[in-house]
Amino acid sequence: MSARAIASPLGALLGFAAAFVLVSTLLPERVQSVDALGPEPSRARAPEVDSAHLQAPPPTEPEERAPTPTPAVEQTEDGATTEAGDATVKQAPLGVVLTGVVRDTSGAGQAEAYVSTRTKAGERVLARTDGEGRYTLGALAPGTWQVSAGKRDLHDHEVQLTLVHDEPILRQDFVLRPKQIVWVRLVATDGAPGMSVLVEAGMRPLFMNLVPVATRDDPGPTFTEVRGSLNNTFGIGTYWQSGMFREKRGPEYIGTVTLHEDGPAWLSLVVAHQVLRKEQIDPSTEEVTFVIDPDDINAIQCRLHATVLDAATSAPIPAKAWLNDDPFPMGKSHEIEGDGALALDREWPGKRWLVVNAEGYAQYMKQVTLASGQTLELGDIQLHRPVELTGHVRNTSGEPLEAVLRWGRLDPGTERIEWRRQTRAQSAADGLFKIANLEPGVWVIQSPGLPSRPPGGQDDKMVSLAIQVDATRGAVADLEVVMLDATAVTFATADLAEPWPVVAVMDATGLAVVRRQVGRYDDETVLRVPPGSYSLVVERDGEEVVRQPLEVGPEPQRVELGMSGGAR
């Protein structure tokens, strides 16, 4: 929706001088609103630009008042201000302020909803609504902006606005539709709460990989995308283990699934990536009951066997092993005696990480796939004496920098890099870094940015290219990692179907500067890339679907990914 209102220069100056004091009197006569009951899509990552003037329900008197102003925050280069903590964003000296009310379809103002946009550099600008659903966002530089509003139990909606200097305060209201929320009930064949069946079958509660998953289509016998927190988004829904609103129900209720897309859909009970039960649901479904049998749980458990040896002497060695969803030692270890025999029983199927540690040896790490009810024979696991990589991190002027470092092992056969997930190092104030306890081999080192405060692990405005290190014969020293100023490149996709596209920006040596899944959580993904000439590679389900040149300059740029995963 485009908004241009004609105002006198005097009116514009008054708007800039007293935006928050006079916002109720300076609001443009024409009110822009978005009615989420219309034909727009049901989630924000499939935005549709609103092209009609829609009239929102008349605001009540409290909603006409301007939100309480908060202390000003620093203005960015393109005129945006970012949120300070949970406070509402205040107008900076220059730009356009957006203000309005976020309502649901009943007309009720929505507290703690968000209204947000992104700058050309990829920085998010965010405001939250007060108790009556009112918000103030800005100031924003004149130009075209994509602005979205949402709340976790309501469908997001996005509009396109054109902001002009002549209209220093712009009214934009949002009306959001409710999401479908389905309660999940789990019972045993005798009617008892079903969670006890899982515990009796040997599933450890702390590592219980059980999650109800909503998908648009029938998921088939397996669903392998469950990773990390069970409250992450999987398929087209999010599972809340305590229920979205922490409503208390009986012990047979294990939580709710909130659908981010309208039904019909499939709701499946996934245990260790196996779809044990599934049921079709429609937009009116409020509750689903899954009945589980202990024999079904026991039937999917599997085994892993191997022998741990010294790589140089082939002698068996004692060690400790872990088999987890994540690539690091976690939970109770499995003891390997002096005969080197590793026997893991009653394990759960799917893609798992096997980690083996032995004193004086480099850590062994391998991703394995366990088939439901089967035994995986790995044969010999050879442990090597460790090597280390040392060097310095500097900028282009040669000055030392503290930077975050990641590393991965290059497979010479496939030429793919197996990055060590959730493993990082950091250089010291003099730029010195050391990465130890590695197996001999060809490694790739890259810095994704400088250290930053939580929740972000690094500030990616400066990154390095990837460097390849041959450590097959031992330790390597005097490595140089050069940090470069990075450009914000926005990858936008309208293709929201699984499998999600993976975008990689490859340098001249064939190493990825950045590699990221796109489209799963948002229409737009911002990646930071140093200026230069690259190859853009897009993969789907492990298959390359496009490879084309990509020129990155110093200014932010945008790349549109087509419906087939290609770029234009």
Contact 136, 129 (CB under 8 A): no
**Confidence at 86, pLDDT banded by 50, 70, 90:** very low
Reading the block at residue 538, the tokens are 């897009």
Q: What are phi and psi of 362, to 5 degrees?
A: -70, 150
Question: What mean pLDDT is predicted for residues 222-231?
Answer: 80
Assigned domain for 402 exists: yes
Q: Specify the CATH number for the domain of residue 493.
A: 2.60.40.10
Q: Output the CA–CA distances (angstroms, integers) from residue 411 to 443, 464, 513, 542, in the order listed.
A: 9, 21, 17, 16
Boundary of a domain, candidates 460, 485, 510 = 485
- pLDDT tens column, 162-201: 999 888 999 999 999 999 999 999 998 888 888 877 777 6
Residues 6+ apart with CB under 8 A from 461: 449, 450, 485, 486, 528
Q: Are residues 80 and 158 in the same domain?
A: yes
Report the DSSP beta bridge partners of residue 319.
336
Q: What is the CA radius of gyration of the chain?
A: 27
How open is the CA angle 164-168-174, to the nearest 5 degrees? Answer: 85
Regarding whether 229 and 158 lie in a shared domain, the answer is: no
Q: Is position 197 within any domain?
A: yes
Residue type, 562: G
Closest of 104, 454, 95, 108 to residue 117, by C-alpha: 95
Q: Where are the alpha helices (DSSP H) in 252-395?
A: 294-300
Q: Mind listing the pLDDT tens digit for each residue in 277-305?
A: 999 999 999 999 999 888 888 888 899 99
Give pLDDT, residue 271: 85
Domain end residue (candidates: 339, 364, 383): 383
Q: How far apart are the first and last CA of the chain?
A: 24
For residue 522, name the pLDDT band (cuts at 50, 70, 90): confident
Q: Is there a single domain that holds both residue 169 and residue 24?
A: yes
Q: Is the pLDDT of residue 17 over 60?
A: no
- What is the rounded CA–CA span in Å between residue 449 and residue 447? 5
551 and 452 assigned to the same domain: no
pLDDT tens for each residue of 386-416: 999 999 999 999 999 999 999 999 887 777 8
- At 261, phi and psi to the nearest 5? -130, 150
| Domain-terminating residue out of 246, 265, 298 | 298
Give 202's pLDDT tier (boundaries 50, 70, 90): low
Q: What is the C-alpha to C-alpha distance for residues 138 and 357, in angstroms, rounded to an integer?
A: 53
Residue 568 lies in a domain: no
Residues 395 and 371 in one domain: no
Q: What is the dihedral of CA 261, 267, 270, 274, to 10 degrees?
A: -110
Predicted pLDDT at 564: 52
Q: Mean pLDDT over residues 256-269, rounded?
A: 92
Q: Are residues 166 and 218 in the same domain?
A: no
Residue 29: pLDDT band (50, 70, 90) is: very low
- Decide which of 362 and 324 is more confident: 362
| Whether 67 and 156 share a structural domain | yes
Give the Cα separation of 378 and 306 in Å (integer). Answer: 5
Q: Rounded distance, CA 498 to CA 501, Å?
A: 8
Domain that holds residue 539: 487-561
Flag the least confident range among 176-185, 376-385, 534-543. 534-543
Which tops the pLDDT comparison, 456 or 324? Answer: 324
3-state SS track over 433-500: EEEEEECCCEEEEEEEEEECCCCCCEECCEEECCEEEECCCCCEEEEEEEEEECEEEEEEECCCCCCC
Average pLDDT over residues 95-108: 94
Q: Is residue 4 part of a domain?
A: no
User: What pLDDT does residue 387 have?
Assistant: 96
Query: What mean pLDDT value characterizes the chain?
Result: 80
What amino acid occupies position 273? Answer: H
Task: Examine the pLDDT at 261 and tell me if it is beyond 90.
Answer: no
Domain count, the chain: 5
Please tell me whether residue 252 adopts helix, strand or coil conformation: coil
Domain for residue 101, yes or no? yes
In angstroms, the CA 134 to CA 128 distance is 8
Q: How confident is the model at residue 332 (pLDDT cuts 50, 70, 90)?
A: confident
pLDDT digits (tens, 9 = 90+) for 49-77: 332 222 233 333 334 444 433 333 333 44
| Residues 166 and 58 grouped into a single domain | yes
CA dihedral for 361, 363, 364, 370, sign (positive or negative): positive
pLDDT level of residue 327 (50, 70, 90 thresholds) = confident
Please give the residue that has the higher pLDDT: either 495 or 286. 286
Do 410 and 477 lie in a common domain? yes
Residues 88, 151 share a domain: yes
Whole-model pTM: value is 0.66
Regarding whether 351 and 287 lie in a shared domain, the answer is: no
Q: Concatenated DSSP letters for 295-309?
A: HHHHHH-EEEEEEEE
- Domain co-membership, 291 together with 240: yes
Q: Quick one: pLDDT band at residue 244, thresholds 50, 70, 90?
A: low
| Per-residue pLDDT reduced to its tens digit, 151-164 | 988 999 899 999 99
Q: Is residue 320 in a domain? A: yes
Between 217 and 564, the more confident residue is 217
pLDDT in the model for residue 208 = 53
Residue 1 in domain: no
Where residue 89 falls among pLDDT bands split at 50, 70, 90?
Answer: very low
Interval 425-441 mean pLDDT: 94
Q: Which helix (H) or strand (E) holds 10?
A: helix 9-17
